[in-house]
Amino acid sequence: MDVRQLRYFLAVVDHGTVHRAAEVLHVAQPSISHSLRRLEKELGAELFLRRGRGLVLTSAGRALVEPARGVVHLLEVARATVESVDGLRGGRLTIASMPSQAVSPLTRLIADFTRTYPDVEVAVVASDRPGDVCEALRTGTAELGVLAIPGGLQGLVGMRVRRLETHRFVLVARADAGLPDNQPLEIADLPGLPLIVGQPGTGMRRVADAILAATECRLAVEIEHREALLPLVLAGVGVAVVADSWRPLADAVGLSVRELAATETLHVGLVWQHSRLSSAAKAFLNLSPTDR
């Protein structure tokens, strides 16, 4: 058994088919199929059963997943540790982040890190929800994660957590939107406005739904691409609820940012799973502040 066999095995686990695993790894399908057959022969057990066009794990395959991830992760840590003997002069750090938290605080954290360690390559993978961030850590897609959860960060089983900051929500609008002058804005006082909303299940959407339920505001656009929220507001399509971490961007493009008298808050945290982190991940943690 070698680490390449384990990498191929995990790629099929994560992507469901040999074809998709081969595409992701940029290798030929027969190479992966041959590697899996050798691994099954060495272990004396079938690891997959074919179901339609996909593959499902056998009980032996399920038992192998976590040990295989551990071996692959430790090898990556070992390689990164050797590369950093003379200081972090190379390597790669992958971080999974939810969209709003990629705006803040992750932008600031990456800026601090790259100023100190300019030779380390940083990759950020998109994760829509907290569960997606945790899954990226569990599968080894990322070493660190940045996420936000309403109410608190206590329920992240199996994860180590560092609290970073707490976000409230604001309303962003063009100057001609006709918003009341009071600060913060009471939801019940909002005039009937077109509202641009994000996907269900997010803090921004819950506040937007509360506005729709309590006022004459109407849903104008529902969009999963959060990066399009501010351009839509700028184009005069409507107003939008965003986390206050978006304030610098909204200010920069000339939008009005108004605080909302809403009780919903988001607790932002930096999370990781493995006790054995690469040198780059440890350095990132060392530079990251705790909740202010």
Domain with CATH 1.10.10.10 in the chain: 3-75
As a whole number, the mean pLDDT across the chain is: 87
Check if the beta carbon of residue 197 is closer than 8 Å to that of residue 208.
Answer: yes
- pLDDT for 89: 66
Mean pLDDT score, 213-237: 93
Question: The domain 84-159+268-287 is classified under which CATH number: 3.40.50.720, 3.30.200.20, 3.90.1150.10, 3.40.190.10?
Answer: 3.40.190.10
Range with top average pLDDT, 74-78, 105-109, 178-182, 287-291: 105-109
- pLDDT for 87: 58
Domain covering 3-75, topology: Arc Repressor Mutant, subunit A (1.10.10)
* The length of the chain, given as a count of residues: 292
What are the structure tokens assigned to 63, written together?
Answer: 């038992």
Q: Is the pLDDT of residue 135 over 90?
A: no
Domain with CATH 3.40.190.10 in the chain: 84-159+268-287, 169-264
Helices and strands per DSSP (H, E), number in the chain:
11, 12
Check if the beta carbon of residue 83 is closer than 8 Å to that of residue 76.
Answer: no
Alpha-carbon distance of 15 to 11, in angstroms, equals: 6
pLDDT band at 197 (very low <50, low <70, confident <90, very high): very high
| Three-class SS state of 95 | strand
Strand segments, DSSP code E, in 58-168 are 92-97, 121-126, 144-150, 160-167
92-97/144-150 β-pairing? parallel
The answer to whether the Cα torsion of 121, 125, 129, 131 is positive or negative is: negative
Please name which of 100, 280, 279, 284 lies closest in space to residue 207, comparing C-alpha atoms: 100
Please name which of 34, 35, 12 lies closest in space to residue 24, comparing C-alpha atoms: 12
pLDDT band at 251 (very low <50, low <70, confident <90, very high): very high
Q: Is the pLDDT of residue 8 over 90?
A: no
Task: Output b/e per residue, 203-217; b: 16+ Cβ within 10 A.
Answer: bbeebbebbeeebeb
- pLDDT for 69: 79
pLDDT tens digits along 253-271: 999 999 998 778 889 999 9
Name which of 8-22, 82-96, 141-155, 273-287 the model is least confident about.
82-96
CA distances from 97 to 105, 112, 147, 279 (A): 10, 17, 6, 20
266-272/54-57 β-pairing? unpaired
Q: Is the pLDDT of residue 137 over 80?
A: yes
- pLDDT for 77: 67
Long-range (24+ apart) CB contacts under 8 A made by 186-192 are 186/261, 187/211, 187/214, 187/215, 187/260, 187/261, 187/262, 188/214, 188/215, 190/215, 190/217, 191/215, 191/216, 191/217, 192/216, 192/217, 192/218
Domain covering 169-264, topology: D-Maltodextrin-Binding Protein; domain 2 (3.40.190)
pLDDT tens digits along 71-129: 877 777 666 666 554 556 677 899 999 988 888 899 999 999 999 999 889 999 988 88
